[in-house]
Structures are given as structure tokens and as C-alpha cells.
């Protein structure tokens, strides 16, 4: 291994979790993409086709409007058509009034007003229409004087039936509204999660290039051959980053290959001051968020003292269902204490993906972070 290259003057490295550009706007999955759900539609054609004739034929029989008439009389059949028409007029009229009120008032903001207006509309529409229709029935059916007791009973029965049916309509609407609200909330939650995830990914990508170019600028002046080699490896690493940036999860094997390339770039500069070991079954499956391992290695380099006499030991242990990254723990004295933003961001990425949570295990000599592996069917 070539000797370590002296460090370039100026800022050494930048923590990928500290500062840096954030996503200016929510990505394509932002709230605007979710849109607003359309008001729930109600297909009640079958209910009307059954309910209107049922009420039109049953109520006159139950309230004695036909008196001595029966199916053998022509007037009985004309009356049946008349009362079915009355039932249709009452049903469709109150249905229209209900739908119009839903356009102007809702239960949450105008609950009391809505109830009062709805009851007033039902009574003021249904009662006069029923009374006029019954008086007309007695006038042309030949049944004699108007039976006002029967008229009052039918009016009351019709109003109560309309109140009941309106209640059923409102219940169905509230259920559908609830379903629409749940869909809308789920869409907005997913859009928010996608936007947050995009912001977290955008926070990681630029810093690696910035820090690598700082190293490359020094190599160009001191060792052009190594600069070319460094540049080629850097291109491979960043090509991987560009290829994976739109993915939520990547294969463990791909991440291991990438982190080996990344450590190779570090060793070009630091020599044997950085040591990497990978333990366990390297053919194991599972996925994890892209650049997770690179983030942990980069943070270890930033926050720990290292030298060829006391190298920074990085150990990646592949276990059943998880991967543990353990590093030497020798905090630098001249580096301000870390706020832990990088680890919080990584944990947030796991949470937004519904992939569990990372585990941080600090110790006196070692610092370990355990990342769950996501099994993909």
C-alpha cells in the first residue's frame, strides 16, 4: 500500500448530515400530487326503483285511502299510479333539497343550522304536496268528502318516512365522506413521506463529491498518476450514487461493493490509517437504504483520530437479518461534538420506508450501529 498522502490544507471533511443543501420543494410526490379527493358520489338508482313504488303502493293501503276500492276497480289502478307518482315527487324533491344543502353546509361547521333547515325543507315541501295530492284524489276518485283524519295521518306518515330516509342518506354520505377522508389522509401522508425521503437523500449526495474534490485537487498537484486513478474510482462511486438515488432500497451486495470502493478512495489519501474488514456471509440477501454504509464510514473518519500507528478499524458484520458496522472510538479533540444528525436522518429514512429502526451501541472503545436488512419477496 502506498504511503499516506499528506493532508490538503483547509477544511478536511464535511459531515454529510451537517449543513448542505436541502430539497427546496417537495418532490413529485408532494401534497399537490395527491390532489383533493372528489366529493363522494352516491348511486341510489336501485334503492329508488324499489323504494318509490313500495311507499306509493303500501301507504294508501295502510291508511285506508282506497276505502272499498279493490284491484277489480279501474279507479284503484289509477289511484295506484297517482300515489306512486306522489311518492316519486316526494322522494326526488327531498333528495334534491338534501343534495343542495350538502353543497352549502356540513355537519362540522353548520350542524345545528343544517338540521333545522333540513327539517324545515322536509315539512314545508312534503306536507303541502301530500295534502294537495290527497285532496285531488278524493275529488276525482268519487269517494266522496275528504277524510281529513286520513289526510293528517298520511301527511304525518310521509313526513316521518322522509325524515327516516334522509337520515339513511346522510349516514351513507358520512360513511363515504369518512372513507374519502381516510384516502386523502393516506395520500397526503404518503406524499409527505416521499417528500421527506427525497429531502434526506438530497442531503447526502452532494457532500461526498465536495469532500472528494478537495482531496483530488491536492493529488493533482502532488501526484498526477494517483490523481487519475483516484478520479476513475471516484467516477465509479458517483456513478453508483446517481444510479441508486431514485431507489428506496438497494441490495446488500451492491452496498458492500460501493463501500469497498469508497474505502479504497480513503486509503489513497490516508494509507494504512484505515482498515476495513467484512465478516459473515457476503452472499447473504436483504436490502437497505442506499449509501447507508458509506454514511457510517464517512462519519467514523470525520469524528475519530486515525494514523498508521493507530489505524481506524472498520468492521462490517453480516448477521441474520441485519448488518452491524463497528468502528474504533477515539473522538478527535479538535472536532466539535457531533449532533448526531446523520444517524437521526438514517433512522428517519428507515422509518419512512417502514423498515424498522437502526440501533446505536456506543462503547468505551468501539462504536456500533446496527442496520436492519429488509427482506424483499
Average pLDDT over residues 217-245: 82
In a domain, 321, yes or no: yes
164 in the same domain as 101: yes
Q: Is the pLDDT of residue 215 over 90?
A: no
252 in the same domain as 156: no
Residues 278-337: pLDDT tens digits? Answer: 998 877 778 988 888 988 998 888 888 888 888 999 999 998 889 999 998 888 876 555
Closest CA to 372 of 320, 331, 312: 320
In a domain, 173, yes or no: yes
In a domain, 335, yes or no: yes
Residues 184-210: pLDDT tens digits? Answer: 777 656 655 665 555 555 555 466 667
Closest CA to 87 of 126, 46, 34: 126
Q: Which of 188, 206, 234 is the last residue of a domain?
A: 188
Q: Is the pLDDT of residue 34 over 70?
A: no
In a domain, 283, yes or no: yes
In a domain, 286, yes or no: yes
Average pLDDT over residues 133-153: 86
pLDDT for the residue numbered 244: 76
Q: Which of 162, 188, 214 is the last residue of a domain?
A: 188
pLDDT for the residue numbered 6: 42
In a domain, 198, yes or no: no
Average pLDDT over residues 13-24: 34
Q: Which of 168, 188, 208 is the last residue of a domain?
A: 188
250 in the same domain as 181: no
pTM of the full structure: 0.49
pLDDT for the residue numbered 249: 85
305 in the same domain as 169: no
pLDDT for the residue numbered 25: 34
pLDDT for the residue numbered 17: 36
The residues facing 276 across adjacent strands are 314
Q: Is the pLDDT of residue 15 over 80?
A: no
Q: Is the pLDDT of residue 11 over 60?
A: no
236 in the same domain as 167: no
144 in the same domain as 57: yes
126 in the same domain as 252: no
Average pLDDT over residues 161-170: 87
Give the chain's mean pLDDT.
77
In a domain, 210, yes or no: no
CATH of the domain at 228: 3.30.565.10
182 in the same domain as 120: yes
pLDDT for the residue numbered 302: 84
128 in the same domain as 233: no
In a domain, 74, yes or no: yes
Lowest average pLDDT, out of 66-75, 130-139, 146-155, 171-180, goes to 171-180
244 in the same domain as 175: no
143 in the same domain as 47: yes
227 in the same domain as 351: yes
Q: How many domains does the chain have?
A: 2
Domain hosting 133: range is: 41-188
Distance CA 228, CA 219 (A): 9
Average pLDDT over residues 54-63: 86
Residue 28: pLDDT band by 50, 70, 90 thresholds? very low
Amino acid at each position: 500500500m502506498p504511503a499516506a498522502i499528506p493532508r490538503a490544507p483547509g477544511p478536511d471533511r464535511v459531515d454529510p448530515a451537517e449543513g448542505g443543501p436541502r430539497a427546496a420543494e417537495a418532490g413529485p410526490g408532494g401534497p399537490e400530487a395527491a390532489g383533493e379527493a372528489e366529493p363522494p358520489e352516491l348511486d341510489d338508482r336501485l334503492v329508488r326503483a324499489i323504494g318509490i313504488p313500495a311507499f306509493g303502493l303500501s301507504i294508501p293501503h295502510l291508511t285506508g285511502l282506497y276505502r272499498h276500492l279493490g284491484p277489480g276497480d279501474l279507479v284503484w289502478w289509477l289511484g295506484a299510479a297517482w300515489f306512486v307518482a306522489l311518492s316519486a315527487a316526494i322522494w326526488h324533491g327531498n333528495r334534491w333539497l338534501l343534495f343542495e344543502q350538502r353543497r352549502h353546509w356540513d355537519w362540522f361547521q353548520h350542524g345545528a343550522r343544517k338540521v333545522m333547515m333540513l327539517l324545515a325543507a322536509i315539512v314545508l315541501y312534503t306536507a303541502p304536496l301530500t295534502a294537495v295530492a290527497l285532496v285531488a284524489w278524493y275529488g276525482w276518485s268519487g269517494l266522496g268528502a275528504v277524510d281529513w283524519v286520513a289526510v293528517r295521518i298520511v301527511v304525518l306518515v310521509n313526513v316521518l318516512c322522509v325524515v327516516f330516509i334522509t337520515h339513511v342518506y346522510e349516514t351513507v354520505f358520512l360513511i363515504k365522506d369518512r372513507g374519502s377522508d381516510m384516502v386523502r389522509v393516506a395520500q397526503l401522508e404518503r406524499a409527505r413521506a416521499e417528500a421527506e425521503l427525497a429531502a434526506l437523500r438530497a442531503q447526502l449526495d452532494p457532500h461526498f463529491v465536495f469532500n472528494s474534490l478537495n482531496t483530488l485537487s491536492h493529488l493533482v498537484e502532488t501526484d498526477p498518476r494517483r490523481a487519475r486513478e483516484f478520479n476513475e474510482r471516484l467516477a465509479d462511486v458517483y456513478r453508483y450514487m446517481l444510479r441508486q438515488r431514485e431507489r428506496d432500497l438497494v441490495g446488500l451486495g451492491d452496498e458492500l461493493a460501493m463501500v469497498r470502493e469508497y474505502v479504497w478512495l480513503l486509503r489513497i489519501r490516508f494509507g494504512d490509517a484505515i482498515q476495513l474488514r467484512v465478516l459473515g456471509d457476503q452472499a447473504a440477501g436483504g436490502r437497505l437504504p442506499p449509501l447507508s454504509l458509506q454514511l457510517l464510514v464517512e462519519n467514523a473518519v470525520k469524528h475519530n483520530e486515525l494514523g498508521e500507528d493507530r489505524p481506524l478499524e472498520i468492521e462490517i458484520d453480516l448477521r441474520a437479518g441485519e448488518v452491524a458496522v463497528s468502528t474504533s472510538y477515539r473522538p478527535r479533540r479538535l472536532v466539535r461534538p457531533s449532533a448526531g444528525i446523520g444517524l437521526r436522518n438514517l433512522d428517519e429514512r428507515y422509518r419512512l420506508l417502514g423498515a424498522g429502526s437502526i440501533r446505536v451501541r456506543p462503547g468505551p472503545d468501539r462504536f456500533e450501529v446496527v442496520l436492519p436488512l429488509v427482506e424483499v419477496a
